Homo-oligomer: A and B are copies of this chain.
Amino acid sequence: MSRYTKATDVLMQGERHRVWSLVVTIFGDLAQNKGDEISAQALSRLTEQIGIKSEALRVALHRLRKDGWLESKRLGRSSSYYLTDFGLAQSASASPRIYGLTNPIRSEWALITTPNTTEGREGDAAKLESDNRVIRLGAQVFLGEENNLPKIKRALLTRIGADPLPDWVRDQIIGPELKASYNDLLLQLQKIEKTLPENASPIERAVLRTLIVHSWRRILLRHPDIPNGFYPRSCKAIECRDTVCELLKELSRPSLVDLSTV
């Protein structure tokens, strides 16, 4: 078994990657600039190595075009795909979180307290409960970024200070399941670090990058972006980020030309 196969095995272990979402990861990683396109052939080869059937890829591409993420174009007998302006914008907005080594500078965080009466809660609390930008700390208490809050009318806003957050707050921000996902991912990433092939081909690098970025972003995007001090002490999210960044540096991004001509 080659080092490359070992690495992909680790990353695909027990995972059910949704093809639609995986294709988004591929384009986000390899073709995020306007004008970038991936040939149908390269896409097939890449997804095949991840264990995706050609029929499943076809369905995913159809759906992504229908949903406005992708466009395709033909050139003689071959075709290629590229992100639409909408797709480019979506990818660009997620990129800083996925690829950034540190959080970009953010606004302050605020505690949002809503009235404790049933009538008073209706509006604000209901809105906050269903908004994925904020984190719920209790029936009437939420946490959010000051510059990125849903419009709320009656809530009391107080600013999170420089003191470390109490453990129960961190455990509420990143629940036990999410924490376990981070900690499992770190173990996987560390295994990959050890089995990384020395001279990976462009397609091998693309496959490994896709699997790493995909596993990482699937966990990452389940919660709002938060300062490092908001993670539970025993959560390995920061270590995951560091390791992802190191691995991606090691597995340098293949050029689209290399990918299509192999």
Contact = CB atoms under 8 A, between A and B. Distances in A.
Interface of A: 110-111, 113, 115-117, 120, 137-141, 154-161, 163, 165-169, 172
Given A111-B158, A158-B160, A141 B165 contact: no
- Tell me what chain A mostly uses at the interface: helix, strand, loop, or mixed: mixed
A120 B163 CA distance: 20
A154 B110 CA distance: 18
Contacts of A154: 166-168
B157 A137 contact: no
B161 A137 contact: no
B168 A117 contact: yes
Contact of A138 (B116, B160, B161, B168): B116
Copies of this protein in the assembly total: 2
6 contacts: A111-B113, A111-B156, A154-B166, A154-B168, A158-B159, A159-B159
Contacts of A167: 154
Contacts of A141: 113, 116, 140-141
A158 B155 contact: no
Contacts of A168: 115, 117, 120, 154
Given A116-B141, A156-B169, 14 more contacts: A110-B158, A115-B166, A116-B172, A117-B168, A120-B168, A138-B139, A138-B140, A141-B141, A154-B167, A155-B166, A157-B163, A158-B158, A158-B160, A159-B159
* 6 smallest beta-carbon distances between A and B, as pairs: A116-B138, A158-B158, A115-B168, A111-B158, A138-B140, A154-B166
A242 B167 CA distance: 46
A139 B139 contact: yes
